[in-house]
Amino acid sequence: MNPAAINAVDTPELAEIRQAVRSLCETFPDDYWRQVDRERKYPTEFVTALTEAGFLAALIPEEYGGSGLKLRAAAVILEEVQAAGGNGSACHAQMYIMNTVLRHGSAEQKARYLPRIASGELRLQAFGVTEPTSGTDTLSLRTTAVRDGDRYIVNGQKIWTSRAEHSDLMLLLARTTPRDQVAKKTEGLSIFLVDMQEAVGNGLTIRPIRTMMNHATTEVFFDQMSVPAANLIGEEGMGFRYILSGMNAERILIAAECVGDAKWFVRKAADYAGERTLFGRPIGQNQGVQFPISRAYVQMRAAELMVREATDVYEGGGNAGAEANMAKMLAADASWAAADTCVQTFGGFGFAEEYDVERKFRETRLYQVAPISTNMILSYVAEHVLGLPRSY
């Protein structure tokens, strides 16, 4: 696979960023990722290196100590992490969570938090939205935040709150007005910035959830947790609209990661097929082996183009909802197809830890489900693109 040909549409700036990320990732070889996966550790060293190189502050404006880059650059960063065999899920949320603070936070909030996030002094990587009873039905969440003087008192529970144990700040969505007291069901939800260092043990409890991949995910419980009113982001009751504005960026960045995964699987499968000899010839000489790898490559390229289309619309200030959703779905499908093909190409060795295929296979499976499931994307396209009746 020729990286130069694949990335021929990169601008000189993007090509430089891509190479810089690739060089950084080379200092974290496969055995590093194998070890953190085996021991269920958080890749602190890798996240620190990305932070110190300025990559996690890519989208933070220069006035707050960031790089002031566009979304396409952030997508390239995360794509390259995945293509190198790493796992950007350890820190990718910081790329899109801080966007809520940047777009809707007060001048004081931005001045207080963004420079410290950019420098790495603070990590903003936990996003408290999903709940056990509501799942993707965000408007039915039950966590409440009740105003009490200059503070809000929070009670409730969140689940699949990844990186909560490794984040200093959490962006929390909670109901501030009962659902039966709002004119529209999208109203009455608010966003808060929670100081987790202060809250843990003082109303906030974090419980790790062991999953099939090393994703550092947790469930969190709020019991009379106090949050200063000054930590309310934007206007009370407007939180759902605020997180919607960041979801398109999230889906585009996750799609870029899936493209990176697909590139890794295709390269891995093609290299192995060219080297592995059975019955006196490389297995890659057989069309039954080479055709699935070729198909996976074609799917990856198509998804890559959709990601670029989505970033163009987003950066142009348009509504990228359809493009972001389609990019996420196509890229997740491409990475999963490439993963399955890679395992099949390796045969029994695909299940052996030392080849890293089974680890990446487990990791990329997540994106058929999160951060939004394929069925939800299809429902979105049916309603908002094709004009069909709302299905839920």
Q: Which DSSP string corresponds to 33-98?
A: HHHHHHTT---HHHHHHHHHTTGGGTTS-GGGTS----HHHHHHHHHHHHHTT--GGGTTHHHHHH
**Alpha-carbon gap, residue 108 to 89, rounded angstroms:** 29
Three-state DSSP state, 139: helix
- Looking only at the bridges linking them, the beta strands covering 169-175 and 189-195 are antiparallel
Length in residues, the chain: 392
The C-alpha torsion from 30 through 31 and 33 to 36, rounded to 10°, is: 180
63 given a catalytic annotation: no
Phi first, then psi, for residue 157 (nearest 5°) are -155, 145
> Which residues, 6+ apart, have CB-to-CB distance to 78 below 8 Å?
88, 92, 95, 253, 256, 257, 260
**Alpha-carbon gap, residue 307 to 270, rounded angstroms:** 24
Catalytic residue selected from 131, 250, 304, 323: 250
**Alpha-carbon gap, residue 346 to 364, rounded angstroms:** 17
Structure tokens at 239: 């939180």
**Alpha-carbon gap, residue 305 to 70, rounded angstroms:** 17
The residues carrying an active-site annotation are 250
